[in-house]
Structure 1
Amino acid sequence: MEMTRCMLHEKSLPKKFWAEAANTAVFLQNRLPTKAVKEKTPFEAWYGYKPSLKFLKVFSCLCFTHVPQSKRDKLDRRASPGVFIGYSSISKAYKIFQPQTGKIVVSRDVHFVEDEEWNFDDAEKKGQTLEKMKFKLFDSSVEEEDDRQNEIVDDASVRGTRLLSDIYERCNVAMCEPANYAEA
């Protein structure tokens, strides 16, 4: 809890993010060396291999989440601002708090500005406002990635797919129906 308290205090985050800070602290502690496991990290002792640390980011830094093409119009922003608050436990993604909507989004397509942070007191980023911030747009190859990887909850249905249960029901109907009058 000491690490959680320090993370919240250092970045001036509201107390409502205590759970996300605690999850991030545990995530980081599992990748740091401890006295309990000599010459290994807890992650390495449990899984048997060294963890990759290249994806680690500064807690509570400013970031921009890519908005998929299916969820925006032609002239809308291609990225929405947010605050990095942790790592997803379900997938290889980041948890981003979006102050403008008040929602937490899980996304892989994120651009981080690690030397900047959101000021919750003034509802703007320290140093400059969002309107002055230049958005670094993502290239078109990122847009073509699967939207299911971008967000866990997605409202858009994918055209041309069927549920596996529907396919099985059709197969059973085809096998059970009589072919002629005598079979009936």
Structure 2
Amino acid sequence: MAAEGGRSPGTEPRPPRRAGRLTQLLRWQRRDWADDHELAHAIHGTVVGAAAMAAASLHGTLGEVVVTVVVTILVYWAAERYARVLSAAAHGGQRLQHALAALRRGRPMIEAAYTPLVVLVVVYFLFEDALQTAVFAALITATLLLGGLGHLAARRAGTSRAGAIGWGAVSAALGVVVIVLKLSLH
């Protein structure tokens, strides 16, 4: 005889599946990066921000590095969104609605650049004006973020855990390239 709820006697319901630790860590960043396009924008913003940071840190102060990263991300965002707005305008009716929707969809490019910038500033002040240490900490953070975003995108696409780890590693490799570039220029 089945117990209440259709279970066999002595069996407990399974708890809901917990999100992986990596997924939980990424959720604080942005809860509504809902689709593959938004995750792609986040990856793009992280790579562009990290590359701008690596280049600006060669001869700049903390303020100059932060301004360079923010302005660079905004220029990339504006150019990409402008192209989307033009594309939306070509679709005919409801142009304003399409244009506004296109502007909203690109936010993850900007939002993803925040975390490495926060790490940069915090580490800079914790280690008493050590800009290069702060930059490397921020670049490592960007690399870990890239790995996590790649993993999350792969899991959302239905990839196996092992496959998602591989995609995360490929995404993180972009950050490693920026770190190697920074080391070679320093």
Same fold (TM over 0.5): no
Say which structure is richer in helix: 2
TM-score by length of 2: 0.24
Who wins on radius of gyration, i.e. which is larger? 1
Q: Which has the higher contact order (CA 8 A, sep 6+)?
A: 2
Say which structure is richer in strand: 1
